[in-house]
Amino acid sequence: MPQPPKERRKVSRVKLSRPLPGRVGEARIFLVDASVEGIRIAHQGSLPAVAQTCHVSFAWEGQSI
């Protein structure tokens, strides 16, 4: 039987109970999960290349972050 894939993450991720709307620049996104090393998003359209620094914004408890 094949072995299950080995877990490569060094830190745990927090899965949001509901995707959180936000923006990367002018592009609309949804934050799906987060860790101390980064976030995972869902999006349609163009974004900066993977591993490239970009500005992410979203609202949390009424505050812009």
Residue 50: the pLDDT is 81
Residue 11: the pLDDT is 79
Distance (Å, whole) CA 11 – CA 2: 25
Residue 52: the pLDDT is 84
**For the chain, which residues make up each domain, given as ranges?**
15-44+53-64
Report the predicted TM-score, pTM, of the whole model to 2 decimal places.
Answer: 0.71
Q: Which long-range contacts (CB under 8 A, 24 or more apart) does 25-31 make?
A: 25/54, 25/55, 29/56, 31/56, 31/58
| pLDDT tens-place string over residues 3-58 | 766 666 677 889 999 999 999 988 999 999 999 988 899 998 888 888 888 899 99
